[in-house]
Chain A
């Protein structure tokens, strides 16, 4: 089983800030995208069950390396990072093109992607990559069950009525959700081994992509302005220990005759 996980390094949730040009600041403090960790965990379990190798693929600036190291510590065999200054400000379309070009150079039975990212939230890059490479695209997976002998993969896709069981030939691209199960903590042995694992860096030239076709100048839409949500007045945050907190909340509600 050869698995590639599309892994994005995103600003640490809750600490996001903008640069002057209305771009998210990615110069420091990046972590792996939450949904990507869930598909990484699912991928690692598949490799443990079926044998093979899991490789991560990231498009992101050099601070993304920390998130990649964590994936290596969790058990990924090696990593590919597409780094190029021209990529800054790329939209989902350009990201899809770059990741597809990189993925095309890798061998895999399954490519896994998180359902969406905490910063972009478009949820379309996985579909874009699958479309460009002509891969079956299985979305909102809550379980991934490959059958290597038959060369097929089944997923349970979350639906409004429960879940659907979908089947496709491999190679395929699966977009997964948190229902795949909690990601593991990296072990100390994994952390120490991760330091000697390979992170290959590829540039746009390596992928044969014209720098003018990606990044801010090539976006199809533009951010005109960005405004933080208005502060809500009068909110009280209770950070006491649970029992004391319950008491304070009950007092608060009782004083307003709400209970």
Chain B
């Protein structure tokens, strides 16, 4: 038992773990195969106050810490990465509001986000602006007391399900690097805001990944979060707190794959004994468990550092996401190996876990970007 978790965190984690095992795990294969967004899981999280965790108590939330929310994401992802992602995306889309929202904006949206009656999304990426936010072409132009937004966002997790989308747009092309962006919340149903299409994906198949089109979409200035030109800074601070969420998803996937591989190695008999008694299988299981625990501890440490306002929060966020993502990929690959042919077919969950693991090396900054962030922090340190 980790000494760093409070009894309350342990109780919350165990409660969500039970929900995940009893209510979500039996649905996981079907969610993956159908590719349909699991609204029943959204309702479950809403009913059990799981969404409420990250919001301040004065807006209907539970005032939980980054670490506590990561524990929830980890427990759910252990059985279903798509369902874990629902929690991670709800947090991601809310972070600009949590970090830079006005009291009026929090009053307006947090009760709905906290109760789960509203879902949100975070729209930064574009076809030509993935790792490099300088490629953002979506424009927001002043129009009286509001703004008009035009552009296309791509690879937006839950973009088609969200009631509220945080859109990063260029407000002043002349302002220079890192001062040209602002963030606006666009509500579903606003004229000109359309879902253009959904992607067909390798993993996290129950989570719709949308292309969002904004065609002269008018939003009031009250929907702008933070100052004009502050968008890049808010987006980077957002990623400092959302990358641990991806790391938590990755740790959960790795743990889930380890759970399945260990159970299989106990039961599967070849050459007259369980394969778990073969040293080559034992070595794989030992490495899987060790890597997963190392990723978990790095994640928990990162969460606490970031929560404490560490000056090098970006480095901690990048390190935990990098290590956990690579761990999830390696561990799930080994889990498939332990299960042999059974690991490769859909009757067992590890092939799904392996497909799901891959995304944790890609989104919210590729592993290469994480390394870049870490190295820059190291080299710029005094």
Contact = CB atoms under 8 A, between A and B. Distances in A.
Interface stretch (B13-21, B212-220, B225-233): B13-21
B11 A185 contact: no
In terms of DSSP, what is the predominant structure of the interface of chain B?
helix
Given A185-B48, A186-B15, A189-B52, 16 more contacts: A185-B15, A187-B47, A187-B48, A188-B12, A188-B15, A188-B50, A188-B53, A188-B62, A189-B62, A190-B49, A191-B11, A192-B8, A192-B12, A241-B348, A243-B347, A244-B348
A191 B263 contact: no
Contact of B342 (A69, A186, A189, A244): A244
Interface of B: 8, 11-12, 15-16, 18-19, 47-50, 52-53, 62, 263, 267, 342, 347-348
Interface string A178-209: 00000001111111100100000000000000
Contacts of A190: 49
A192 B6 CA distance: 12
Contacts of A244: 342, 347-348
In terms of DSSP, what is the predominant structure of the interface of chain A?
helix
A195 B8 contact: yes
A239 interface: yes
A189 B51 CA distance: 11
Nearest to B7: A195
- Per CB-CB distance, the 9 closest pairs between chain A and chain B, nearest first, are A188-B49, A189-B49, A187-B49, A241-B347, A187-B48, A191-B11, A244-B347, A239-B267, A243-B347
Place the interface of chain A in its size category: 10 to 19
B45 to A, nearest CB: 10
Contacts of A241: 347-348
Contacts of B53: 188
Given A188-B16, A188-B53, A192-B12, A239 B263 contact: yes
A69 B8 CA distance: 11
Given A185-B48, A239-B267, A191 B15 contact: yes
8 contacts: A185-B48, A187-B47, A187-B49, A188-B16, A188-B62, A191-B15, A241-B347, A244-B347
A190 B267 CA distance: 39
Contacts of B16: 188
Contact of A191 (B12, B47, B347): B12
